[in-house]
Amino acid sequence: MRRPMVAGNWKMHGTRASVAELIEGLVNLALPGSVDVAVFPTSLHIGLVAECLEGTSIVVGAQNAAHETGQGALTGEVSPGQVVDMGCKFVLVGHSERRQIMGETNSVLNHKFAAAQASGLTPILCVGETLEEREAGKTLEVVGRQLDSIIEELGIDAFVNAVIAYEPVWAIGTGLTASPQQAQDVHAEIRAQLAKENAEVAQGVRLLYGGSVKAANAAELFGMPDIDGGLIGGASLNADEFGAIIRAAGN
């Protein structure tokens, strides 16, 4: 039985004041004990958030960490070990904004994924197709390649301690959501692809859906058999909306 998970990606949002306000809203939520909840503030705010959430059931993750485990001369980066030191448990790897805007390739992401695990973080690998790729019928090919890149480089066991988020690029921040069936179809294929390598790993790995999830559509999405929760962008910046999404995952 996979435990549902809801993760809030705050992206490049927040000031000290707005982050403090959001945390206050989060700690006052009545949350179901059956759902794992994580929030991903900017690197700047990780320390503040981790401190304020200490002793609560909400854990903190990083939106990004370097491809190397150690510290050293890498201006502007933070190492996975440093984010662990600040209290993080998870790290996003391969969010489409980083793939597309920052030019992160599958090869770079393999290193980031491995460095995260070697440092004690659980990576959340984001995969997904653009609108153009979907319309060309290439969704499964694109997602399959993104997954294969990790499997070929690190082996299927890399997914024993990892989470996968299927995030169609056309649904991120656009207000367009994959229908529950569209999302389920891709999730089922992801699980089937992993099962070809190892059925037990495939059954155990949590597959989150991301892309304009809100309180109004969460229950239907999370009701699908291979959708184990969500990676939430915009809606995670509002504590009440995020709380409603978490409760939908617990039902």
Instruction: Give contact residues for ligand PEP (rule: CB under 6 A).
Output: 9, 11, 167, 172-173, 210-213, 231-235
What residue is closest to ligand PEP based on CB?
A: 233
Three-class SS state of 124: strand
Query: Is 153 a known active-site residue?
Result: no
Which of 68, 104, 129, 167 is catalytic? The answer is: 167
Which of 95, 97, 104, 187 is catalytic? The answer is: 95
- Distance in angstroms (rounded) separating the CA atoms of residues 11 and 24: 19
Query: Is 167 a known active-site residue?
Result: yes
Which is nearest to 173 in space by CA: 97, 243, 99? Answer: 97
Q: What value, to the nearest 5°, has the Cα angle with vertex 229 and ends 155 and 81?
A: 50
- Distance in angstroms (rounded) separating the CA atoms of residues 145 and 165: 15
Q: What is the closest distance, in whole angstroms, from the C-beta atom of residue 244 to ligand PEP in the complex?
A: 14
Where is 217: in which H helix or E strand? Answer: helix 215-222
Q: What value, to the nearest 5°, has the Cα angle with vertex 191 and ends 156 and 64?
A: 65
Q: Which lies closer to ligand PEP via its Cβ, residue 4 or residue 233?
A: 233
Where is 184: in which H helix or E strand? Answer: helix 180-197
Q: Which lies closer to ligand PEP via its Cβ, residue 19 or residue 201?
A: 19
> In the structure encoding, which two tokens stand for residue 134, read together?
């979907």
> In the structure encoding, which two tokens stand for residue 6, read together?
């809801």
Q: What is the closest distance, in whole angstroms, from the C-beta atom of residue 156 to ligand PEP in the complex?
A: 25
Q: What is the closest distance, in whole angstroms, from the C-beta atom of residue 95 to ligand PEP in the complex?
A: 6
Q: Which lies closer to ligand PEP via its Cβ, residue 158 or residue 183?
A: 183
Q: Which lies closer to ligand PEP via its Cβ, residue 130 or residue 198?
A: 130
Three-class SS state of 128: coil
Q: What is the closest distance, in whole angstroms, from the C-beta atom of residue 65 to ligand PEP in the complex?
A: 17
- Distance in angstroms (rounded) separating the CA atoms of residues 73 and 172: 34
Q: Which lies closer to ligand PEP via its Cβ, residue 11 or residue 153?
A: 11
Q: What is the closest distance, in whole angstroms, from the C-beta atom of residue 70 to ligand PEP in the complex?
A: 28
Catalytic residues: 95, 167
